[in-house]
A and B are shown apart, each in its own frame.
Chain A
Amino acid sequence: MNIDWALVGYNTLVVVLLILVATGAIPVLSGAFSFIAIPFSAVKNHYRKAAPYLPRVSIVLPAWNEGAVIGESIDRLMALEYPPECLRVYVVDDASTDNTPDVVLAKAAAYPGQVFHLRRDKGGEGKAHTLNHGIRVVLQDDWMEALLIMDADVIYLPESLRKMTRHLADPKVGAVSAYIREGSADKNYLTRYIGVEYILSQPAGRRAQNVLGAQACLAGGAQLHTRENLLAIGGQIDTTSLAEDTITTFETQLRGREVVFEPLAIVHAEEPGQIAALWKQRLRWARGNVSVTAKYKKIWFRPSKVHKLGTWSFGIVWFSIWLLPVAMVTSSIGLLGLLLLHSQLAVIVFRALWIIAAMSFVFTLALAAQLDRKLSSNAWREVLTFPGIISMFVMLTAFFPRLTEVDLPGLFGWHLTASGLFFITLAIYIWIPFSMVGAWLAREVESTWIGPFLSPLLIYLVGYGSLLCAITFDSYIKELRHADAKWDKTVKTGRVVV
């Protein structure tokens, strides 16, 4: 028997390239799968196990140079629709050098027995250290039944705490998280994109995680723990990682306690209006997730009777987000390889991949936009361009090939030659990795004279998703280089409004 080794090699190469292309479909399908779970929240939610419950809540509020915002934050906490005799606020002043101590001490005098000023003489060690200082104090007596961890700049809507505590009536629940909603007064293109991202990740994504039974992360600015849960996870927050919120979430669930996301408990937060600040914040989160992935390497894809962090559905969702930049690159390499091999498969696979992406994009954004209509209507441009205008063109090319290859050029009297079509196809196939370069460029030019115009334009063109992927990619590089992982506080200026 004669074996045509050239043919075998060719076919093997095609199969390898197909597998590479398929890696790009995994995050897309994973996202669609999560969103398909959302309507099942109608029948699978925690409300039936919740009950009226108003425990004594200690609020630990870390503060470093928050003089501009801390006073109003305390006033709003004291005005929550919650029995004031069941509320105590502990402001942990992380060696502030501004007027934070004066503001907090004035509030402590205004709300005697309810507001407390705790001072750390050595600051700058990170949020977890600051929180632990406050947690040690509240655990010294038996008053506290539930602990609320929040940020100094966030604003809780009046009913939000009450909507969170009702879930703690179920003894199986260890912690509850709220919906952190972008609430800057002076919104720009970036804060609107963040607002859309937060709809996708919280009332959409975390609601889906409620249905699937495992939560990836409690919001750092709004996490409510039972005293029992806090003690069970060691009575303190992990200080070894940049992802202390995620570790707290995992530790809670690993001990068999549920973590519930409450979409109707709304907390407004100020988010970065500059790419550089967002990059710094998200790089911290992304690097934290790298360490979380390694720390819990023994739980992935290993179903357990105690928790659901080891389910395949949760694992695929977790790794799809974490490895999205890798999938984007490998998928493009696969498509490029198929194109260069002149395989007819290239066109078929490209269309299949991008049609799936287009359908998933339309479904997820159409559903998410309805979950927070007010925010979505104010950010309709960002909703429509979330994947980027160029990626939308790529989707159009896959979905309606005649439109972009014949009809649109025909409007200008153009006719694409075979080589012209090849180069356009080539550009489309390798676009996704380059979109991350575009996002990086948007950050680089931001502080130049042309930045105020060019940075938003670039982000609209390449997409906010590509910006997040570029940051995740940067986190891989930083981790591989073992770059210094210090805790950088995101600067807040008191721009948040209700």
Chain B
Amino acid sequence: MSEVDPRHPSAEFIQRELDRDRKREWYLVPKAIFAVVIVVLLVVVRQLYFA
């Protein structure tokens, strides 16, 4: 199967795509941390200005 024919993706191509997608799942960690940071900021604002 040809590497360049999108209708016939080679096993190597699919494996590379799979590895790339697996690594992409690690981006969920900083995204979750960012969401937690926003929540923490809200709590800090509450404690500093509205406690």
- A residues sitting closer than 8 Å to B (CB atoms) are 35-36, 38-39, 41-42, 45, 47-48, 50-54, 81-84, 158-159, 162-163, 166, 207, 264, 358-359, 362-364, 366-367, 370-371, 399-403
Q: A42-B29, A362-B39, A400-B46 are known contacts. Are A162 and B9 too (CB-CB below 8 A)? A: yes
**Other-chain contact of B7, A41, A84, A367 (Cβ < 8 Å):** A84
0/1 string, B1-23, CB within 8 A of A gives 1 = 00000111101101101100110
Task: Say yes or no: B21 contacts A47, CB within 8 Å.
Answer: yes
- Neighbouring A residues of B6 by C-beta, 8 Å: 81, 158
- B residues sitting closer than 8 Å to A (CB atoms) are 6-9, 11-12, 14-15, 17-18, 21-22, 24-26, 28-29, 31-36, 38-39, 42-43, 45-46, 49-50
Inter-chain contact count A-B, CB under 8 Å? 87
- Neighbouring B residues of A367 by C-beta, 8 Å: 31-32, 34-35
Task: Say yes or no: B39 contacts A371, CB within 8 Å.
Answer: no
C-alpha spacing A38/B11, complex, angstroms:
29
**Other-chain contact of B22, A47, A158, A362 (Cβ < 8 Å):** A47
Task: Say yes or no: B32 contacts A358, CB within 8 Å.
Answer: no
- Neighbouring B residues of A50 by C-beta, 8 Å: 18
C-alpha spacing A84/B5, complex, angstroms:
12
- Neighbouring B residues of A403 by C-beta, 8 Å: 50
Q: A38-B28, A363-B35, A401-B50 are known contacts. Are A81 and B22 too (CB-CB below 8 A)? A: no
- Neighbouring B residues of A83 by C-beta, 8 Å: 7-8
CB-nearest residue of chain B to A264: B21
Q: A39-B29, A39-B31 are known contacts. Are A166 and B18 too (CB-CB below 8 A)? A: yes
Closest Cβ of chain A: how far from B13's Cβ, in Å?
8
C-alpha spacing A39/B49, complex, angstroms:
32
- Neighbouring B residues of A45 by C-beta, 8 Å: 22, 25
- Neighbouring A residues of B38 by C-beta, 8 Å: 362-363, 366
